[in-house]
Chain A
Amino acid sequence: MIAVSLQKAKALPLSGKIGLMLVIFWLAIALFGPMLAPYPVGAFVAYDVFDGYSAAHWLGSDYLGRDVLSRLLSGARYTVGLAAAAAMLASATGTALALTAAVGGPRVDEPLSRFMDMLISIPSKIFSLVLVAAFGSSLPLLLLIAAITYVPGNYRIARALAVNLVQMDYVQVAKARGEGRFHIAIAEVLPNMIHPLLADFGLRFVFIVLLLSGLSFLGLGVQPPDADLGSLVRENISGLGEGALAILAPAVAIATLTVGVNLLIDALPGRGKGR
């Protein structure tokens, strides 16, 4: 099992290997980061705010004089975990509904598509604002908001792909063979849309990371003293003018995380060749 994975990893192009390393790195930080943090996440340890590098504080201090490295190590898990979970939830739901719609015919397609239209046409940040104001900010709610926000997008794209594929000759042949709808969806249509969907998953992961940071801009997000990567950027934004590490570090963290995920997904072996 591990040997096979290793082999596959070796077969990746260089960009894929870099992506894989970045993804593994951030997964490791998400899992073990809090243990590695030199200081408690909320502790006021530096006298000055927006300090630069020092032996005691590798990434300097933040806008309140807290240790940036510790906050970064503790905050990564929120971004990685929330975004991964929400992206998976959104992609799985969206694709499943899209396949249902594509093989189910207009009677299934129409109501589903109208429902998705409704969800997507309400601006996501405003939607989040209303829900958080109504229910209070919590991790499950953030997860749900992010997932709901990105289901329709995935649905639209997956449906467009699936509808196109259903028209393909080999699918028509399978229909003529008398295969069931479920079989057609899973065995004939899905495998041929995996690659664009994976690309979509990567983008969705990135969007959710950005949505979460966008929400932090609007004051919604993980409860303090913890902070996700986007909130770390946001709360230290006044340090941007002085080029503080406190804002550069989490920005670089977001960039490497999102770029890593995309590089990896781009490099994955494509779909099976069309028949």
Chain B
Amino acid sequence: MDEFASLSRRGLIGAGLGLGAGLLLPDSVLAASKPRRGGHIRVASLSSSTADTLDPAKGALSTDYVRHYMVYSGLTQMGGDLIARPALAERIVSDDQTVWHVRLRKGVTFHDGASLTAQDVVWSLLRHKDPAVGSKLATIAEQFAEVKAAGKQDVVIRLTGPNADLPAILAQSHFLILRAGTRDFRTANGTGPYMVTQFRPGVRTLVRRNPNYWKPGKAWLDEIELIGIPDEVSRVNALLSGDVQLVIAVNPRSAKRVMASRGHGLLETPSSLYTNLIMRQDQLPTGNPHFVAAMKYLTDRPLIKRALYRGYATIANDQPIPPFHPYYRADLPQTSLDLDKARWHLQRAGLTGVRLPVYASPAADGSVDMASILQEYGSRVGLNLAVNRVPADGYWSTHWMKHPLGFGNTNPRPTADLLFSLFYKSDAAWNESGWKNPRFDRLLLEARGEADQGRRKQLYGEMQGLVRAHCGVGIPVFISLIDGYDRRLKGLRPVSLGGLMGYQFAEHVWWEG
């Protein structure tokens, strides 16, 4: 077990470069085990509340994503190699990256027996533009200039501008396909591998296998019960006591306990999830480049990786593309802890001895401890940071990006373009540090419409350099996602977009009990 963990960690994190995370499989998967039908499992996700929903457009949390991928299918689907492949779409093509032609798979039926038609797809995509729907991806759906049916099995999507990433965008759980005209979300009518038998917001979701699933042979399990256990210690205890067979988000501090249990294993997924320091560029003193440089030199990345994440993390370099990403730029020098340089920059900024509040919250995973670490090193170079821990409730609306010095937390996104457009573009709503770089904005637009992979990698590489050198965001590490599972559950492998195989485990796993 220890070998498995260290092997996969070395393999996945060390090698990185150009290799998709999913290409390296843990030995437990390689050990031959043929999928078989039957069995039911209970899965514990992070949270569960009255806001739980079966409407994919409203999906807000991992539990929602898991639930939606269980019952719905998308036009495309993302694999462990971060490449979007056709799913409900038989093919999805474009000559100019602006007008996309989608040919639908034949013979796909909804849970109620109705056949999938172009109308369903048009309706499912266009509803995101209706403010009353409250779609989480409304801003992304704005680029759908027109979505129309061209016959029963064909859909044409015209974008407002070229975007080579459309297939990846459509693979997100929010864009999963509904039956046209669906308004009642107390139960679900999808084309996915499982059908809802009971849905109780805040309590549980019960699904059973869809015998008419369009993927031949799949899915394997008879029944899945999805619950939420918000308290991490309780979640791990539930796994170890056999009450659940799969849990998302195991704290690295609990990893030792899970690995010590003979019947349980850990699935480590290196991801591009990060918790970052925000230094507002439009406020003082954080807008001073010397201050930003000082903070980057004050960050003890190996300590954060070791103490906070017990090794389940990848050292980052103040830019958001992780080493295992196809577009990662490897030749940027790594910034590391250097108290002398930090002190020098701090003196140049004229901030020695100044008391500065830094806002952290359990809402941004690890930020309170990261702030404590910064405070500790700050005190050694004459910077007096006062950690202000605020409750998770209301953090994003009242504190995030509102203070000169604070923390944010960014989930993995399916494409580099989405990540950069949402968080780093000058006019982005979530431009956390408020930096403005026209060159960056131009490169972003160019890369989006570029179909040539080599050229794209070059453009994204330059953008990584710009963010690292000039942006007021400090990214110490990329946090690995850890799921815990009962060893009788087979077929799990990492998909770096999220835990539980990028939330899509349901159709891939089988039970060998």
Contact = CB atoms under 8 A, between A and B. Distances in A.
A and B, direct touch (CB closer than 8 Å):
yes
Nearest to B369: A64
B47 interface: no
Interface string B380-414: 00000001111111100000000000000000000
B376 A64 contact: no
Given A40-B376, A63-B253, A241-B257, A223 B307 contact: no
A224 B368 contact: yes
Nearest to B232: A238
A238 B253 contact: yes
A100 interface: no
B23 interface: no
B253 A44 contact: no
B369 to A, nearest CB: 6
Contacts of B369: 64, 224
Contacts of A168: none
B254 interface: yes
A132 interface: yes
Nearest to B395: A133
Contacts of B233: 237-238, 240
A42 interface: yes
B: contact size bracket: 20 to 34
A: contact size bracket: 20 to 34
A225 B386 CA distance: 9
Contacts of A64: 307-308, 369, 372
B387 A219 contact: no
B251 interface: yes
A239 B393 CA distance: 26
A242 B394 CA distance: 34
B134 interface: no
A251 to B, nearest CB: 15
Interface string A223-263: 11100000000000111111000000000000000000000
A220 interface: yes
B310 interface: yes
A225 B387 contact: yes
Contacts of A223: 387-389
Interface in B269-292: none
B113 interface: no
B257 A224 contact: no
A132 B391 contact: yes
B389 A42 contact: no
B186 interface: no
B355 interface: no
A114 to B, nearest CB: 30
A108 B360 CA distance: 47
Contacts of B391: 129, 132-133, 137, 219-220
Given A220-B391, A238-B233, A42 B254 contact: no
Given A63-B253, A220-B391, A225 B310 contact: no
A238 B308 contact: no
Contacts of B254: 238, 241
Contacts, number: 62
A49 B303 CA distance: 12
B387 A133 contact: no
Interface in A5-55: 40, 42-44, 47, 49
Contacts of A136: 388, 390
Contacts of B307: 44, 49, 64-65
Given A44-B307, A44-B373, A64-B369, A224 B389 contact: yes
A42 B372 contact: yes
Contacts of A133: 391, 393-394
Contacts of B388: 136, 223
B389 A238 contact: no
Given A49-B253, A63-B253, A238-B233, A42 B392 contact: no
Nearest to A218: B391
Interface string B295-311: 00000000100111010
B372 A225 contact: yes
Given A44-B303, A242-B257, A225 B376 contact: yes
B256 interface: yes
Contacts of A219: 362, 391-392
A223 B387 CA distance: 7
Contacts of B342: none
B359 to A, nearest CB: 10
Interface string B238-274: 0000000000000101101100000000000000000
Contacts of A239: 253
Contacts of B360: 224
A40 B372 CA distance: 12
A225 B369 CA distance: 8
Nearest to B361: A219
A132 B306 CA distance: 32
A47 B311 CA distance: 13
A267 to B, nearest CB: 38
Given A65-B307, A219-B392, A220-B391, A225 B253 contact: no
B509 interface: no
Interface in A130-163: 132-133, 136-137
Contacts of B232: 238
A242 B253 CA distance: 11
Contacts of A237: 233
7 contacts: A44-B303, A44-B307, A49-B307, A129-B393, A133-B393, A219-B391, A223-B388
Given A224-B371, A238-B254, 6 more contacts: A40-B376, A43-B376, A44-B373, A44-B376, A63-B253, A137-B389
Interface of B: 232-233, 251, 253-254, 256-257, 303, 306-308, 310, 360, 362, 368-369, 371-373, 375-376, 379, 387-394
